[in-house]
A and B are shown apart, each in its own frame.
Chain A
């Protein structure tokens, strides 16, 4: 243990003198069982800890900068997008000459140029998060998300939950748990949250609390449009499909967007509505929400502080949700978002079963129903590839032919994989049950 003031300077410590004061000293707030003040913790942070940043946009640029300046060195960033001229006002790692280049590449280059001498190395990935599988995500210790949509957040949340392994007593194995730090901003409002799979509530637990996206009534946009948005929405939902029945709108294509704008403008003129502009069209179609640079800075800072604490155990971690509301005065609220009992992602148990390969599907269902700890009534089972069985009287007939087949036959036919985690639902369980069957 190092005394006050006389911090031992090694190469890394010298550059992060202030950080080391936090990492080298005992803290009454840190969890005594976890936090080991000293060189070892700094070494972990700088030589072992590997962090992934999802998104290199408004939040992503801030997060990358904060990570690099906070002592993290092995940083990866993933983003599918290219730089647009409208990003430059706040995404400060980009310059006008970078327009059109991949965000992840440019952001990584910038940080490496600026902080490379500190040992920081940012590795870019120019692709969708869905392009990578578990083996990619399992190499990281912490994942920070600066995303702009719910679909991607749900995807990564769900994947990180499926990566957790459980022991025989159904307790999660901590070393397979990847903390997810998720941030989001909208104008002067922002939030950051900590998701520790199976230990805290997860993203899907809070799905009901999100305001639904603005959808205008079909009859209003079709028959009685009053706002410029109504005209754009009508072209988007009705006219695009009518003119291009088998083509998906590409919101990044200027031609496609121009077509939407022209049609919307024409429609607006017919109804005497003013205000349809190209930028409004972009905003409505891409559901763009306003971005304020300083809100991004604030939320990114909170995320990186949490990343630092969760990696080094040097202080208590945000439990679990922080909201910043700067639009109506200034108000910050921190609270524990509780787990939802019937969350389809993080509730429900996993069972490891061992069964003779000659067991029929009927036999498997019977044994699930007979298990006194499960007490299932009429389970339905799906695998990644197929619907194994639906018990509902309405859909049962589609799958009844599989009941006499053996598990081996079902594996051979590709209905399920050997050792695959199957999802079981039953009216008696509020959430789901996962089973993994080892064939004997």
Chain B
């Protein structure tokens, strides 16, 4: 039996000078802990634009192999208050020619949506994003044109990515110069 003697019997008076409700919610404490213990893989970095708000930050990834080698991509993370019940919102701010990232920066990564679980973490997401650069998946396309190109001819796809990285036009879209 739970021993509850005394529990609930005391109470404060309304209007008593108590501190305002704390702004920090469990999700924020979890992010404090996660960012404090973050171990980023090589070629990635983190920046917190508002140093006092850990719920919004950027992760920068510079792949050292694969089609996008040599370029640097910035992902904007916005962590909702309900974290980790809800996943962070992640967008790619650098325009990219990629089968799984559309031109608006939406990212198709299972753990960001349908397969998110509270046991996953910011670290897991970073590894997931890194994986998208190493193994783009034309089977789950978000940019159809890029997925078709990759599926039909890898060599030609590599050439198209190369052109996009130099600031060229691919499939009618111009890309920023990154290499």
Instruction: Determine, out of B61-69, B98-106, B149-157, B171-179, the stretch whose residues face the partner at the interface.
Output: B98-106
A134 at the interface (CB under 8 A from B): yes
Contact indicator B85/A382 (Cβ below 8 Å): no
Q: Answer whether A423 and B32 are a contact pair too, CB < 8 Å, given A138-B11, A394-B38.
A: yes
Complexed CA–CA distance, A402 and B15 (Å): 36
- Chain B minimum-CB-distance residue to A342: B33
Interface 1/0 per residue, B14-57 and A, CB below 8 Å: 11111111111111111011011110100001101001101000
Q: Which residues of B contact A31 (CB under 8 A)?
A: 1, 3-5
Does B144 touch A at the CB level, under 8 Å? yes
**Shortest Cβ gap from A202 to chain B (Å):** 10
Q: Say yes or no: is A27 at the interface (Cβ < 8 Å to chain B).
A: no
A199/B2 contact (C-beta < 8 A), A222-B106, A398-B51 known: yes
> Which A residues lie within 8 Å of B16 (CB)?
135, 138
Q: Which of A33, A138, A319 contacts B12 (CB 8 A)?
A: A138
Cβ contact within 8 Å between B45 and A387: no
Measured in the bound complex, the distance between the Cα atoms of B18 and A135 in whole Å is: 5
Does residue B142 face the partner (Cβ distance < 8 Å to A)? yes
- When distances are taken between beta carbons in the complex, the residues of chain B under 8 Å from A222 are 102, 106, 108, 142
**Given known contacts A133-B21, A154-B82, A387 and B108 CB-to-CB distance under 8 angstroms:** no
A164 to B168, CA, bound (A): 61
Please name all residues of chain B whose beta carbon is closer than 8 Å to the beta carbon of A392 when the two chains form the complex: 35-38
List the B residue with the shortest CB-CB distance to A237. B106
Q: Please tell me if A275 contacts chain B, counting CB pairs below 8 Å.
A: no
Chain A positions within 8 Å of B110 at CB level: 217
23 A/B residue pairs, CB under 8 Å, sorted by A? A31-B3, A31-B4, A33-B3, A50-B11, A130-B21, A133-B20, A133-B21, A135-B15, A138-B11, A151-B85, A158-B22, A174-B5, A174-B9, A175-B10, A208-B117, A210-B85, A222-B108, A384-B24, A387-B54, A390-B35, A392-B38, A395-B36, A432-B29
Instruction: Report the count of interface residues on B (CB-CB < 8 A).
Output: 68
**Across-interface contacts of B19 in A (CB, < 8 A):** 133-134, 420
Query: Does B166 belong to the interface (CB within 8 Å)?
Result: no
Q: In the bound complex, how far is the Cα of B32 from the Cα of A387, in angstroms?
A: 9
Cα A208 to Cα B30 in complex, Å, equals 13
Across chains A and B, which 5 residue pairs bring their CB atoms closest together, nearest first? A175-B10, A174-B6, A138-B12, A135-B18, A134-B18
Q: Across the interface, name the chain A residue whose C-beta is closest to B19.
A: A134
* Most chain A Cβ neighbours within 10 Å, of B26, B86, B114, B144: B26
Evaluate contact between B113 and A196: CB separation under 8 angstroms. no
Cβ–Cβ < 8 Å partners of A345 in chain B: 26
Which residues of chain B are near A394, meaning CB under 8 Å? 35, 38, 40, 45-46
Known A219-B142, A385-B52; judge A319-B7 contact (CB<8 A): no
What mask results when residues 211 to 249 of chain A are scored 1 for a CB within 8 Å of chain B, else 0?
Answer: 011011111001100000000000001100010000000
Give the distance to chain A from B10, nearest Cβ to Cβ, in Å: 2
Question: Do B102 and A212 have beta carbons less than 8 Å apart?
Answer: no
